[in-house]
Amino acid sequence: MGLERVEGVVIRTRDLGEADRIVSLYTRERGKVRAVARGARRPRNRFASLAQVPIHGRFGVFQGKGLGTLSQGELITSFKTIRTDLVRTAYALLLAELYDHMMEEGEPAPELFRLLLSTLHVIDGSKHADLTKLFMAFELKFLLLMGYGLELDRCVKCGNEDGLIKWISSKQGGLICEECLPGSIGAVEAAPGTIQVMRRLLRSDYRLVAALHVSDSDCRIIKDVLRDSLEAQLSSPLKSLDFLESMISGEASKNNAGRSADGDHPGSNR
C-alpha cells in the first residue's frame, strides 16, 4: 500500500515494547488512523515530541500488513498553552478521548476534523471562565455531526413547535412537549430560556459563544443533558471525565487565591 501523507491530530498514544509508541491520529484525509512511532519514547527520537496528545502535524504513514508505521512527522501546532495548563489539558484529553472512542478507522469526515482543530484552538486560547460553555457548544455540534443531534426546535415525539416547551430528554433525543410527557423516559425540566441558550450554543461560532451569558443553573442542566447524550453513544465510560471534574473543582476552590493551575502534562501515555 506504500506511503501515505496525512494531516492529523494525535488523539491517543499507547506504549509498545521497550521504546515504541502506538499513535492514534484523527486525520483530515482518512479519519482515524493508527500507526507505530518507532523509538518515540527515546528522548532524542524524531517522533518523541510529536507522538503526544494533542499535537497537530503532517505525518507520513507507511501502510504494510497490519498496523502502519510512522515514517515522517512535521509539527504544525504544539498547543503549548494546553500542554502547560492542567485545566486546558483536561479539556483536550476529554476531546481527544471522545474522538478516539467514537470514530471508526478509515472513515474520513472533514467537518469533524475541522471541529476538532477549531475546538483545540479555542481550548488553547480562551479564558478558563469561558471553557465550560465553549465545551458545551462543542458537544452540541459534535453530536449533530455524528448524527445524534438533539432536536431543539420541536417535540421529538409529535412535532409540536410550541416555543414554550420546557422538557428535554437525552434518551428520547430532544424536546418533549407537555402532552407527550407522560410515558417519556428521562425528561428533565428546562426553562424555555435554557433551551434557547442551547440553540445558541449549537448554532453560534465559538467567538459568539464566548460572548454569550450562560447562568450557572443553565450550565448545570445543559451539561447533564449533554453528558447523558454522549454517554448513551459510548460503550465504556470516559476516563478523562473524572480528571476534568477534579481540575474544575480544584480551580473553583483556588479562585480565592487568584492563581490558575500550572503544571506538566500528565496524561498523554495511556
Select 41 or 166, whichever has its Cβ closest to Zn ion: 166
**Which residue among 3, 75, 158, 191 contacts Zn ion (CB under 5 A)?**
158
Amino acid at site 116: L
Is the CB of 73 or the CB of 174 nearer to Zn ion? 174
Question: How far is CA 61 from each of CA 15, 27, 37, 43, 145, rounded to the nearest angstrom?
Answer: 18, 11, 10, 21, 27
Which stretch, 25-33, 157-165, 193-201, 243-251, contacts Zn ion (CB under 5 A)?
A: 157-165
Total residues in contact with Zn ion, by rule CB under 5 A: 6
Distance between CA atoms of residues 99 and 44, nearest Å: 29
Residue closer to Zn ion, measured from CB, 10 or 180: 180
Q: Which residue, 158 or 234, has its beta carbon nearer to Zn ion?
A: 158
Considering only residues 161-200, where is the footprint of Zn ion by CB under 5 A? Answer: 177, 180
Q: Which is nearer to Zn ion, 147 or 182 (CB)?
A: 182
Q: How far is CA 68 from the centre of its chain?
A: 25
Contact by Cβ (8 Å): 163, 177: no
Do residues 180 and 166 touch, judged by C-beta distance below 8 A?
no
Q: How far is the CB of 158 from Zn ion (least distance, A)?
A: 3
Q: Please pick, from the candidates 12, 56, 141, 157, the single residue that binds Zn ion as defined by CB under 5 A.
A: 157
Minimal distance in Å, beta carbon 168 to Zn ion? 12
The minimum distance between CB 155 and Zn ion, in angstroms, equals 3
CA–CA distance, 29 with 98 (Å, rounded to integer): 19
Q: What is the residue whose three cell numbers read 507522538?
A: 51
201 makes contact with Zn ion (CB under 5 A): no
Q: How far is the CB of 232 from Zn ion (least distance, A)?
A: 20
Nearer to Zn ion, 159 or 237 (CB): 159
Name the pairing type of β-strands 56-63 and 68-77: antiparallel
Of 49, 72, 132, 160, the one binding Zn ion by CB under 5 A:
160
Within 8 A by CB and 6+ apart from 197, the residues are 212, 214, 218, 222
- Beta pairing partners, 77: 56
State residue 219 phi and psi, 5-degree precision.
Answer: -55, -50
Instruction: Give the nearest distance from C-beta 153 to Zn ion in angstroms.
Output: 12
Bridge partners of 174, per DSSP, are 151, 169
Which CB atom, from 141 or from 157, has the smaller least distance to Zn ion? 157
Binding site for Zn ion (CB under 5 A): 155, 157-158, 160, 177, 180
